[in-house]
Amino acid sequence: MIVLGIESSCDETAASIVKDGTKILSSIIATQIDVHHKYGGVVPELASRMHIEAITPVVDEAIKKADISLEDIDAVAATRGPGLIGALLVGFTFAKSLAWARHLPFAGVNHLEAHIYSLFLSNSKPEFPFIALVVSGGHTNIYHVTSYTNFELMGQTRDDAAGEAFDKVAKMMGLGYPGGPIIERLAKTKNPASIKFPRTLLEKGSFDFSFSGLKSSVARYIHDNKIATPDEKAQIAASFQEAVIDVLSQKLITAALHKNCRNIGVSGGVSANQTFVNKLTQKANFQKINIFAPPVELCGDNAAMIAARGYIMIQQGQLCRLSHDVFSRTKID
């Protein structure tokens, strides 16, 4: 079965053709980073407009790159939520119209479940059951995943998402958007132990996260020490990143031990951070736990993961009707 996947929940317009749920024939991502960069974050109204401009050429290119024609597509899947409503509406309505016009089955995909599915698009996939982290600009969620359709939410952030903290810390230091890759690059040049920022672990036994204290602590440090030079900024980047990595790693490994899982899969934009994946792997290996991450190009928002999730929904008859709408926030399931 050939599925066209479409993603437009935030600042990436993406389309992908995936065969039988796992074979990526094409994956096109048009990013709006250049537009949002100067505002230090995503401007929702601009995002919607850019999606409208990009959606047709991006879908055309995905079909062309896959070396198929529109007639070869058997089903359509698009992100239904969570995300920015105006942005979601562009991809979802486009996909729904295409499916309706061509009498194709149509699945409305949960973006967070799709991030977990990016792990199944890798050559090396985690076996069930496993602990999954979805860590992005909007979410820091830990799940216990026992099958392709069973995701138990164990914990989530109570304030900022980890990616959001990266973005805000980068913005404080005037480094631009998105902050994650910039901070990771700068951090490589410095000792991560030189500034001791807080590690907030919350109550014992909780798998929730809180990154706002860390963010405030970095803001105070920048203000009190009048941080200005590239060297000082790199020092903060390294120490801040280490604090985030410590908290994510500790919660994930504790969750795996709690559920007696030997496998952890990380997904979402922040899982593109190689320092994070490497340090987590080292720590987890001590406990004989294996770490899985998608290929870097599938860590951030993409449509291959939407097509992969949509494929299973279509197989199981979980289809969207014409009356179905997008949603901005919801629990996974």
Binding interface with ligand KG4 (CB under 6 A)? 10, 136-138, 163-164, 166-167, 178-181, 184, 268-270, 272-273, 300-301
Report the chain's terminal Cα–Cα distance, integer Å: 24
Residue 301 in the binding site for Zn ion (CB under 5 A): yes
The edge-to-edge listing of strands for the beta sheet with 75-81 is: 23-31, 12-19, 2-7, 75-81, 106-110
- Smallest gap from Cβ 183 to ligand KG4, in A, equals 6
Task: Give the span between the Cα atoms of 284 and 297, in whole angstroms.
Answer: 24
- Smallest gap from Cβ 139 to Zn ion, in A, equals 7
| Per-residue tokens: 99 | 């499916």
Query: Which of 109/312 has CB closer to Zn ion?
Result: 109
- Residue type, position 315, single letter: Q
Q: Which does 178 bind (CB under 5 to 8 A by kind): ligand KG4, Zn ion, none?
A: ligand KG4
Q: Which DSSP helix (H) or strand (E) runs through 162?
A: helix 162-172
Residue 119 and residue 132 in contact, taking contact as beta carbons nearer than 8 Å: yes
Place of tokens 């996260």: 209
Query: Which of 109/243 has CB closer to Zn ion?
Result: 109
Contact region with Zn ion (CB under 5 A), list: 60-68, 130-138, 155-163, 279-287: 130-138
Query: Which of 155/163 has CB closer to ligand KG4?
Result: 163
Q: Which does 270 bind (CB under 5 to 8 A by kind): Zn ion, ligand KG4, none?
A: ligand KG4
Q: What letter does residue 22 receive in the DSSP assignment? A: T
- Smallest gap from Cβ 243 to ligand KG4, in A, equals 13
- Smallest gap from Cβ 164 to Zn ion, in A, equals 12
- Residue type, position 109, single letter: V
Q: Which does 302 bind (CB under 5 to 8 A by kind): Zn ion, ligand KG4, none?
A: none
CA angle centred on 171, ends 195 and 214, rounded to 5°: 40
- Smallest gap from Cβ 118 to Zn ion, in A, equals 9
Site for Zn ion (CB under 5 A): which residue of 13, 26, 136, 273?
136
75: left (phi over 0), alpha (psi -120 to 50) or beta: beta
Contact region with Zn ion (CB under 5 A), list: 37-45, 128-136, 153-161, 226-234: 128-136
Query: Which of 88/169 has CB closer to Zn ion?
Result: 88
Dihedral sign for Cα 36, 95, 319, 301, please: negative
- Smallest gap from Cβ 48 to ligand KG4, in A, equals 16
Residue 208 in the binding site for Zn ion (CB under 5 A): no
Count the Cβ atoms, other than its own, within 10 Å of residue 232: 17
Note the residues at the interface with Zn ion (CB under 5 A). 136, 301
